[in-house]
Amino acid sequence: IKVPDVRGKAISRGVCQRYTSTTTQYTEKNGAYPSARSLLYACTGRFPKVFVQSVPPVGVTERVYKMPVSKLVFEKRVLLCMTLLCTFGFLLWLIALSTNYWYIVEATDGVLVNTTGRYFLRSNAGLWMSCRQTFANETGAAIIIKQCKYYALYPTKKQLLKNPRIDETILDYRRTNMAFSIITLVVMVLGIYFSLYSIKHPRYMYKRLAGGVHFISAAGVVVMVEVLVSSVHYAREHLPAAIPKRAAWYYGYSFALAWVTFITFALAGITFLMYSGKKKGSKAPTDELAMEDQPTIIAR
């Protein structure tokens, strides 16, 4: 829209009737330069809600911003909520890693394990240790034995031969799970930091970086879950001392927390990428944000 320069001049009724409706529509919804504000004030006695400090030359077409400031505030609130959600997901991931209920094996009536001579009752396992309940029929009395042991990641060959519940393959699965659990924790912390930084400095590149890191965190969780599932199926088929054939098994709440964590970080990644569009020129709500998304030239 073209608005005549009205600063310090009298305005006729015809000019007001011609420009007031159009000027009001653009200034109140999107913002415009002060010459349009001056016309609106001269004709209606009120200023628009959104204004820009720059003043264009007389006769130059007014610059109208497409994105209102209220939309920017809403965007920041959404990204902040996603960051808090990631923090909550990080805490859930810590709980999942520190608990021993990724999968549970039960045999209500007891299953005789030939390699040990005991009856297997129940076991629950995590990423770092497992707990096992068995009973032995000695002198006519059933003695229930409960043991919790941390995994030995690098046992000797002698220890490997004595323990029928492990072999080289299951050890590789456990090492992979432990490695990915630590890597995923570090990546999650980095993602939360980048999220906070992108909210404080709303450059599109920082938002895309935060969204990408969140996707890496979600991918790390999926890899860990898949490795665990593969290890359980392998133990079911090849290590009957660990998971007896006639015993029932199912996943525990630690496994469910892992999937909730995955959904949390995947949703955060989608949200940050969705709001990472460039806001250059008239797409930005303010001149400051327009400058933020301008290309950066790195000189030598």
pLDDT, tens digit only, all 300 positions of the chain: 444 444 444 444 455 555 444 444 444 444 444 445 455 545 554 444 443 334 444 444 444 445 556 677 788 889 999 999 999 999 999 999 999 999 999 987 777 777 667 788 889 999 999 998 888 766 556 677 888 889 888 888 888 888 888 889 999 999 999 999 999 999 999 999 999 998 888 777 888 999 999 999 999 999 999 999 999 999 999 888 888 888 889 999 999 999 999 999 999 999 999 887 766 555 555 555 555 555 555 545
Distances (CA, A) of 268 to 35, 41, 42, 84, 265: 42, 44, 47, 10, 5
Q: Tell me if 86 is assigned to some domain.
A: yes
pLDDT, mean over the chain: 76
Whether residues 225 and 280 fall in one domain: yes
Q: Tell me if 171 is assigned to some domain.
A: yes
Q: Report how far residue 274's alpha carbon sits from residue 263's, in angstroms, rounded to the nearest whole number.
A: 16
Whether residues 26 and 94 fall in one domain: no
Whether residues 17 and 97 fall in one domain: no
Query: Dihedral angle at the C-alpha atoms of 73, 74, 77, 81, nearest 10 degrees?
Result: -170
State the pTM of this model. 0.68
Cα 260 to chain centroid distance, Å, stands at 11
Domain extent, residue 29, equals 13-64
Task: Name the percent of the chain in helix, strand, coil, to the closest 5.
Answer: 55, 15, 30
Q: Indicate the number of domains in the chain.
A: 2
Whether residues 84 and 60 fall in one domain: no
Whether residues 193 and 216 fall in one domain: yes
Whether residues 17 and 99 fall in one domain: no
The strand pair at 248-251 and 141-150 is best described as: unpaired
User: Are 298 and 264 in contact, with CB atoms under 8 Å apart?
Assistant: no
User: Are 32 and 52 in contact, with CB atoms under 8 Å apart?
Assistant: yes
Strands (E), 114-153: 118-125, 129-138, 141-150
Phi, psi angle pair for 78, to nearest 5°: -65, -45
